[in-house]
Amino acid sequence: MAKYVTKTFAAAAAASVMAMSAGMAQAETWRYAFEEAIDEVQGVFAQKFKEEIEANSDHTVQLFPYGTLGESADIMEQAQAGILQFVDQSPGFTGSLIPEAQVFFVPYLLPQDTEKLGEFFRTSKAINEMFPELYSEQGLELLVMFPEGEVCMTTQEPVSGPEDLNEVKFRVMTNPLLVESYKAFGATPTPLPWGEVYGALQTGIIQGQENPMFFIESTKMYEVTEVITCAGHNNFTTAVMANEEFFEGLPEEEQKMINDAIDVAFEHIIDYQKGLHEESIEKIKAAKPEMQVNVLSEEERQPFVEAADEVEATFLEMTGESGKKILDQLKADLEAVQ
Ligand code: 6CS
């Protein structure tokens, strides 16, 4: 009996080695964690990716929305360790690992138009050729970056210029350049992981935070703040990566299948976001009619626009030659789509 079991096991092992060497990797479950809920933008992207992978292979993709495996920093560690095959982490949390990723927090760098942004992310040399090298140094295969919408501020009092942010403890993601950015905007920046934001606003530890409109609505930030201010200073960028060792160990056709699934999910998420900002404002207004939503005029934006130069200079100080190359290339890529 023991002999039979050993033989059967050996035959099965040999078959699996043969299958693998023939380029047919065994069906595995791949784990993919992200920083948002399943029905928020990162979740919608992940669901499309899962759907594509499962339609085109025998693999299963297990999704881990925000909170199931910890904060953003935790899921990144798990992806680097190979516990997760895929992770979505926004540059807002990647700043200390890859300082150049902070370039997305130079105010007024990115346009707000979803179509233009889509074209920029699709074609940018900085994003598609330069950033992958930097992520690779951290054991990560950068698969895609995509926009999640204009970032607006939520505060207790109206904001029409930097003087209104004076003494406002303003939550930012744990990103050194974002801290500098809100200092330049006149606020007192307070870096916090996402899980602490609602409670900190509720208890008055902080008085403001920023996020895209869909997220302000879905996470009910409007319940604990009174005013939303859109100054057009940024568009939320996120990034999806694979553990590099895992990715490089896959047969070429599976790597291609993953990249194809990413491309489909990218187009889906650009399309999904059309009108999302406006729909989210309507939902907020329906839930809390007294919530103020203010869009700053060109004149009101001017002091924030002027502060951007200081933030850009700090970015260059923090990242040196490598940051300068990324910034110059990003600007050239943006000019090409404007
Ligand atoms: O502000 C944050 O921390 C979160 N904002 C968004 C839009 N996605 C995930 C991130 O954790």
In this structure, the answer to whether residues 107 and 178 fall within a common structural domain is: no
DSSP annotation string for 10-41: HHHHHHHHHHHHTT-PPP-EEEEE-SS-TTSH
In this structure, the answer to whether residues 57 and 169 fall within a common structural domain is: no
Element (H, E) at 56: helix 41-56
Residue 69 tokens, joined: 């495996």
Q: Determine the pLDDT at residue 16.
A: 43
Residue 251: pLDDT band with limits 50, 70, 90:
very high
- With a 6 A CB cut-off, is 148 part of the ligand 1 pocket? yes
> Best of 90, 220, 225, 235 to mutate for ligand 1, by most ligand atoms within 8 A of CB?
90
- What is the rounded (10 degree) CA torsion for 107, 41, 290, 302? 10
Residue type, 240: V
Element (H, E) at 313: helix 298-337
Residue 23: pLDDT band with limits 50, 70, 90:
very low
Closest to 281 (Cα-Cα) out of 296, 267, 291, 268: 291
- With a 6 A CB cut-off, is 150 part of the ligand 1 pocket? no
- With a 6 A CB cut-off, is 176 part of the ligand 1 pocket? no
In this structure, the answer to whether residues 129 and 76 fall within a common structural domain is: yes
Q: How many CB atoms lie within 10 A of CB 58?
A: 11
Q: CA dist 334 to 94, 166, 255, Å?
A: 22, 32, 28
- With a 6 A CB cut-off, is 173 part of the ligand 1 pocket? yes
Determine the distance separating the centroid of ligand 1 and the alpha carbon of 253, expressed in angstroms: 33
Q: Determine the pLDDT at residue 27.
A: 81
Cβ burial, residue 297 (10 Å; 0-12/13-18/19+): exposed
Residue 144 tokens, joined: 């895609």
Residue range 27-58, pLDDT digits in tens: 899 999 999 999 999 999 999 999 999 999 99
In this structure, the answer to whether residues 172 and 292 fall within a common structural domain is: yes
In this structure, the answer to whether residues 224 and 135 fall within a common structural domain is: no
Closest to 100 (Cα-Cα) out of 323, 317, 324: 323
Q: Determine the pLDDT at residue 314.
A: 98
Q: Is the pLDDT of residue 10 over 70?
A: no
Residue with tokens 């207790």: 156
In this structure, the answer to whether residues 172 and 56 fall within a common structural domain is: no
Q: Is the pLDDT of residue 22 over 60?
A: no
> Best of 194, 197, 206, 221 to mutate for ligand 1, by most ligand atoms within 8 A of CB?
194
Higher pLDDT, 20 or 181: 181
DSSP annotation string for 249-277: TS-HHHHHHHHHHHHHHHHHHHHHTTTHH
Residue 91 tokens, joined: 């540059």
Contact 196, 259 (CB under 8 A): no
Q: What's the CATH number where 16 sits?
A: 3.40.190.170
In this structure, the answer to whether residues 288 and 194 fall within a common structural domain is: yes
Contact 269, 44 (CB under 8 A): yes
- With a 6 A CB cut-off, is 236 part of the ligand 1 pocket? yes
- With a 6 A CB cut-off, is 36 part of the ligand 1 pocket? yes
Q: Determine the pLDDT at residue 96.
A: 87
Phi, psi angles (nearest 5°) of residue 57: -155, 180
DSSP annotation string for 93-155: HHTTTSGGGGGGGSTT-S---HHHHHHHHHH-HIIIIIHHHHHHTTTEEEEEEEEEEEEEEEE
Q: Determine the pLDDT at residue 8.
A: 44
- With a 6 A CB cut-off, is 258 part of the ligand 1 pocket? no
In this structure, the answer to whether residues 48 and 143 fall within a common structural domain is: yes
Q: How far apart are CA 83 and CA 246, in angstroms?
A: 10
Q: How many CB atoms lie within 10 A of CB 199?
A: 12
Q: What's the domain range around 11?
A: 2-148+236-276
Q: CA dist 143 to 131, 194, 281, 320, 327, Å?
A: 10, 24, 31, 25, 20
Residue range 77-135, pLDDT digits in tens: 999 999 999 999 999 999 989 999 999 999 999 998 888 999 999 999 999 999 999 99
In this structure, the answer to whether residues 242 and 230 fall within a common structural domain is: no
Q: What is the mean pLDDT of residues 304-324?
A: 98
Determine the distance separating the centroid of ligand 1 and the alpha carbon of 163, expressed in angstroms: 26
Q: Is the pLDDT of residue 24 over 80?
A: no
Q: Determine the pLDDT at residue 276.
A: 97
- With a 6 A CB cut-off, is 105 part of the ligand 1 pocket? no
Residue 25: pLDDT band with limits 50, 70, 90:
low
- With a 6 A CB cut-off, is 90 part of the ligand 1 pocket? yes
- What is the rounded (10 degree) CA torsion for 34, 38, 41, 46? 60
The conformation of residue 170, written as its DSSP 8-state character, comes to: E
Q: Is the pLDDT of residue 217 over 90?
A: yes
Mean pLDDT for the chain overall: 93
Q: How many domains does the chain have?
A: 2
- With a 6 A CB cut-off, is 218 part of the ligand 1 pocket? no
The conformation of residue 82, written as its DSSP 8-state character, comes to: T
Q: How far apart are CA 209 and CA 191, in angstroms?
A: 10
In this structure, the answer to whether residues 292 and 196 fall within a common structural domain is: yes
- Which protein residue's CA is at the shortest distance from atom 10 of ligand 1? 35
- Which protein residue's CA is at the shortest distance from atom 2 of ligand 1? 194
Closest to 327 (Cα-Cα) out of 105, 88, 90: 105
In this structure, the answer to whether residues 63 and 135 fall within a common structural domain is: yes
Residue range 153-207, pLDDT digits in tens: 999 999 999 999 999 999 999 999 999 999 999 999 999 999 999 999 999 999 9
In this structure, the answer to whether residues 177 and 302 fall within a common structural domain is: yes
